[in-house]
Amino acid sequence: MKYFIIHLLFLACFSWAQTQLAHPTTQLQKLSRSLRGKNADINDLKNIQSMNDTLQIENFLKSKAKEYIKTDNFKMNFKFKIDELFKMNVVINQYREDKQNEAYDNLIQSLVSENQSWDQLLLAREFKISLPEDGFPQDQYDGSEQKFYEVLTGGKDFIVDDFAKVITAIPNQSQRKMVPTTYTFDEGDERIAGLLSTPRFYSRYTNTALNKNRRRAAFLFEAFLCDPMVPVVPSINKENELKDIDFSVGKDVTEEQIKAHAKLDPHGTQKDCMACHEKLDPMGQVFSSSNFRLSPFASPGALFYRRSGAAPVSIPVKGVRSLAKSIINQEEYVKCQTQHFWNWFIGEDVPLSESRQEQIVKNFNSVQRKPVDFILYLVSQPEFKKAPKPLTEDQLLARQAVQILKTCHSCHRQNESEMIDYWDMSVLPFAKDLKTRINRITELKKQLDTQNNSHSPKMPPRSSLWRPTPQEYSVLNQWLKKGAPDLNGVLQVERDKK
């Protein structure tokens, strides 16, 4: 009898292996960890282990997914993912940010709890904060979220038209005596665009007179269009001393150093610089009248970037709201956001083919871009349920190489610009035809000096703010010498002969 039971268990596991799906208990554990961040309950594991009917198991997993996604653990974990994506978990000024997080936090919580469209990250026009029943002392008021929004509503700092209706709820009877307050703005208010109109955004993405809001524009390109923006400072005689200059306030570099450097070699005038500046400068203009906080007046600008094999996208906008609306209507935006979800719940190491992404995008739109519905769809897909396969050495090496090459994508992108005529090195394979792949990989080897183990690489240039570590150069060297395998382990070219 003992051997008979063992035989049945073997057959059950074998049958699941034949379908290439993980065992039901493994699927349930993965589901619980992905959505709640913790293991499945013991009773649930026992229940699903006792099930033999495939439909029954599928329905049980669906019911559990709906249950898990309503929990506070899911909301907390998902908000953490969003914070990490937007780099909002980085503390710049603890004192300021403790007082300037509420509108942003409430915006994200409403998005998840109410299953609002993902577009509301950029389109929301309601901001909820709590105010002291007796008001702020002057020193606290100056740095408060109340002052941030009163500037827009004709409060103490500016006398302007009443753009907003201030809706004050019934006072909270807690000991803190805080009053929940919602600032609601008109649909056509060009100053208002979701998280871009929160104090947290302005305290996280600060600005300087030299930076001219390029940092804020770079955030939008990175987070919403998946366009990595790596700043590059043109080389001069003392390039080693200046290679770490950034355009944000901080580090050990002063604005005086940057300005002195700019006089020697004006940043933004070289071809390499213009590949980024032609995008950042027009977008940065929409924030031009806003420094530490939103201005009561909208500023015009433009959404501009280049597409491979197509005319550049060039859309004039009246303000930050028009900019937000233009962004969410771009195909790059939809692909970018679905890629974020795929990475979160399916895994960055699981390749997303072009045809598969089309299906994913279609579903994202069909559920009206609502995150909860879209996540439930993703965790029901075969890629989520598949039994994990150990990666080969070539597959692992390819994944490590792609992560490094993604940074190069900021400048080395395939577009119509004659400024930098290179291909997107973060997409494998480099080309469909063998001849092109050979030429490109040969050129990459030359630029990275693989023959001498990257002793004197030409790329990235020494003036670049980003440089691979010795370990990263080693990964790229190994990968190229092994035939530059793609994510499936298929060689793009022949391996180097030893």
For 248-282, what is each residue's pLDDT tens digit?
A: 333 455 556 555 555 544 555 555 567 788 899 99
**Full residue range of the structural domain in which residue 442 is found:** 393-481
Residues 240 and 260 occupy one common structural domain: yes
Total domains in the chain come to 5
- Is 445 a domain residue? yes
Residues 277 and 192 occupy one common structural domain: no
Q: In whole angstroms, what is the distance from residue 481 CA to residue 465 CA?
A: 27
Residues 170 and 231 occupy one common structural domain: no
Residues 321 and 338 occupy one common structural domain: no
Model pLDDT, residue 143: 53
Tell me which H or E stretch contains 405: helix 393-408
Q: In whole angstroms, what is the distance from residue 142 CA to residue 144 CA?
A: 6
Residues 188 and 220 occupy one common structural domain: no
Residues 293 and 217 occupy one common structural domain: yes
More confident residue, 272 or 475: 475
Closest CA to 424 of 338, 309, 346: 309
For residue 176 the two structure tokens come to 């803190």
For residue 336 the two structure tokens come to 């970018």
Residues 259 and 364 occupy one common structural domain: no
Mean local confidence (pLDDT), 285-293: 82
Confidence of residue 480 (pLDDT cuts 50, 70, 90): confident
- Is 496 a domain residue? no
- Is 173 a domain residue? yes
Residues 262 and 278 occupy one common structural domain: yes
Residues 442 and 409 occupy one common structural domain: yes
Confidence of residue 161 (pLDDT cuts 50, 70, 90): very low
Q: Which of 178, 199, 220 is the last residue of a domain?
A: 199
- Is 489 a domain residue? no
Length reported for the chain: 498
Mean local confidence (pLDDT), 232-239: 42
The answer on pLDDT for 13 being more than 90 is: no
Closest CA to 273 of 294, 247, 303, 240: 247
CA angle at 37 for the pair 34 and 41, rounded to the nearest 5°: 95
Residues 306 and 220 occupy one common structural domain: yes
The answer on pLDDT for 474 being more than 80 is: yes
- Is 76 a domain residue? no
pLDDT digits (tens, 9 = 90+) for 83-96: 999 988 765 444 44
Confidence of residue 73 (pLDDT cuts 50, 70, 90): very high
Residues 48 and 151 occupy one common structural domain: no
Q: Which of 385, 409, 424 is the last residue of a domain?
A: 385
Mean local confidence (pLDDT), 407-432: 60
Q: Contacts by 344-349 with C-beta closer than 8 Å and gap 24+?
A: 344/81, 345/34, 345/375, 345/378, 345/379, 345/384, 346/378, 346/381, 346/383, 346/384, 348/399, 349/391, 349/399
- Is 486 a domain residue? no
